[in-house]
Amino acid sequence: MKISAHGFTLIELLIVIAIIGILSAISIPVFSDFTTSQRLSQTAKQVKNDLRSAQNRAINGVEGKAWGILFASPDVYSYRIYTCSSLDTTQTPCVCSDQSFVTTKSLSTDFTIAPPGSLFIFDEVSGAVCDSSGAIAAGVPSSISISLSGSSRTVTVSAGGKIEER
């Protein structure tokens, strides 16, 4: 009578387990970097979309006021969307009087927005944009940087109102 053995030997099982362990050790850091990159990209897109929303509200005359975003909340990981009833674009930087905060957007506390104190205001008549540094009035695009774990993305607003994220 012939006995036939079915199954795997202990050595074969240990080799398979070792291969799975090695592949896991290689893929976990790559996945972690990918997750960080995606979180940063999504946050930059959120900021860009909020800038576009403020710009569209100003151009469409929502509430008949200028709209802006202030990146100078008590912390460096949030920003405020607001309206202002009177915007003086003849001064550099432009002056917004009678600010009324509409909402505060908070990011995860591990994000940083720089430079703090950045301000973008969209005029309700022309849709023209001005910023806190006066750079846009001089025809130079102004930008903010969003950072997470040593990586960063930049959102830029040009004098013509074009908003880009890189």
134 or 104, which is more confident = 104
135 or 16, which is more confident = 16
pLDDT given for residue 109 in this prediction: 83
Of the candidates 157, 134, 160, 135, the residue with the CA atom closest to the CA atom of residue 144: 157
Which domains occur in the chain, in start order? 10-165 (3.55.40.10)
pLDDT digits 0-9 by tens, 67-124: 888 887 556 678 889 888 877 766 656 777 778 888 888 888 888 888 877 888 887 7
Give 99: exposed, middle or buried? Use CB within 10 Å, 0-12, 13-18, 19+.
middle
Three-class SS of residue 62? helix
Stated pTM of the model:
0.78
Nearby residues of 107 by Cβ (< 8 Å), 6 or more positions away: 43, 46, 77, 78, 113, 146
Rounded CA-CA distance 89/127 in Å is 11
pLDDT digits 0-9 by tens, 19-45: 999 999 998 888 888 999 999 999 999
Q: Are 103 and 131 in contact (CB under 8 A)?
A: no
